[in-house]
Structure 1
Amino acid sequence: MTTALRRFPHWPRALILAAMGVAMAAIFALDTLTDYAVAAAVFHTAIILVAVRWFSPRVVIGLTALCIVLTLASFALTPAGAYRTGLINMVISILAIAITAYLGLKMVAAQNAAHEARTQLMRITQTTSLGQLTASIAHEVNQPLAAIVTSGNACQRWLAQEPPNLAKAGQALERILGDAQRASDVIARIRSMARGEAPSRQSFDLNDAVREMARLSDAELDRRGVALDLQLAPALQPAWADRVHIQQVLANLLLNAMDAMQGTPAAQRRITVTTQALGQQLVLTVADAGEGLSPLARTHLFDAFWTTKPDGMGLGLNICRHMAEANGGRIWATDREDMRGGTVFHITIACAPATGDRSSTGLRHG
Structure 2
Amino acid sequence: MARTPPLPDLRPARINALGEFAASIAHEVKQPLAAITLNAQAGLHWLEQDPPRLEQARVALRVVLQASRAATGMVRSLHGMTCQAEPERSTFFVDDMLRDVLQLLRGELRQHEIRVSEEFGLARHQLYADQVQLMQVIMNLLQNGIDALHAVHGRERTLALRSMLMEDALHISVTDNGAGIAPELAERIFDPLFSTKPGGTGMGLTICHNIVQAHGGRLWATTAQPHGTVFHLSFKEYTLWTPSRS
Fold match (TM-score > 0.5): yes
Matching residue's letter, 1:56:
A
Whole-angstrom CA distance in 2 between matches of 1:235 and 1:176:
26
- Alignment partner, residue 220 of structure 1: 108
Kindly provide the CA deviation profile for residues 201-234 of structure 1, in whole angstroms up to 9, marking residues without a partner as x: 2221101110111111111111111111111114
- Alignment partner, residue 67 of structure 1: none
The answer to whether residue 2 in structure 2 is matched with residue 56 in structure 1 is yes
Shift in Å at residue 314 of structure 1? Answer: 1.6
CA contact (8 A) 1:241 1:349 kept: no
Whole-angstrom CA distance in 2 between matches of 1:313 and 1:234:
33
The answer to whether residue 65 in structure 2 is matched with residue 177 in structure 1 is yes
Matching residue's letter, 1:287:
T
- In terms of fraction of residues, the more helix-rich structure is 1
- Alignment partner, residue 96 of structure 1: none
Larger radius of gyration: 1
Whole-angstrom CA distance in 2 between matches of 1:135 and 1:266:
34
Whole-angstrom CA distance in 2 between matches of 1:173 and 1:282:
32
Whole-angstrom CA distance in 2 between matches of 1:163 and 1:353:
48
Whole-angstrom CA distance in 1 between matches of 2:39 and 2:200:
23
Whole-angstrom CA distance in 2 between matches of 1:156 and 1:276:
38
- Alignment partner, residue 207 of structure 1: 95
The answer to whether residue 208 in structure 2 is matched with residue 262 in structure 1 is no
- Alignment partner, residue 34 of structure 2: 146
1:110-125 matches, cutoff 5 A: 112=5, 116=7, 119-120=8-9, 122-125=10-13
Matching residue's letter, 1:147:
A
Cα 1:207–1:132, aligned 2, differ >3 Å: closer, same or farther?
same
Whole-angstrom CA distance in 2 between matches of 1:229 and 1:240:
26
The answer to whether residue 130 in structure 2 is matched with residue 242 in structure 1 is yes
Shift in Å at residue 330 of structure 1? Answer: 1.9
Kindly provide the CA deviation profile for residues 113-153 of structure 1, in whole angstroms up to 9, marking residues without a partner as x: xx75xx24x43332222211111111111110111011111
Task: Report how many aligned residue pairs link the two structures.
Answer: 241
- Alignment partner, residue 347 of structure 1: 233
Higher mean alpha-carbon deviation, 288-297 vs 229-238, is at 229-238
* Root mean square deviation of aligned Cα: 2.1
1:316-327 matches, cutoff 5 A: 316-327=204-215
Whole-angstrom CA distance in 1 between matches of 2:73 and 2:123:
28
CA contact (8 A) 2:122 2:165 kept: no
SS at match of 1:290: coil
CA contact (8 A) 1:226 1:266 kept: no
The answer to whether residue 135 in structure 2 is matched with residue 189 in structure 1 is no
CA contact (8 A) 1:201 1:327 kept: no
Shift in Å at residue 299 of structure 1? Answer: 3.2
Matching residue's letter, 2:2:
S
SS at match of 1:183: helix
SS at match of 1:161: coil
Percent of aligned positions that are identical: 33
Whole-angstrom CA distance in 2 between matches of 1:213 and 1:274:
13
Shift in Å at residue 353 of structure 1? Answer: 5.4
Whole-angstrom CA distance in 2 between matches of 1:266 and 1:226:
13
> TM-score w.r.t. structure 1 length?
0.62
CA contact (8 A) 1:237 1:351 kept: no
- Alignment partner, residue 188 of structure 2: 300
CA contact (8 A) 2:152 2:178 kept: yes
CA contact (8 A) 1:192 1:198 kept: yes
- In terms of fraction of residues, the more strand-rich structure is 2
Cα 1:132–1:165, aligned 2, differ >3 Å: closer, same or farther?
same
2:48 to 150, 154, 160: 160
> TM-score w.r.t. structure 2 length?
0.90
Shift in Å at residue 324 of structure 1? Answer: 0.9
Q: Where do 5+ consecutive residues of structure 1 fail to align?
A: 1-54, 58-107, 356-366
Cα 1:290–1:284, aligned 2, differ >3 Å: closer, same or farther?
same
Kindly provide the CA deviation profile for residues 280-322 of structure 1, in whole angstroms up to 9, marking residues without a partner as x: 4211110000011013431320122222322322211111111
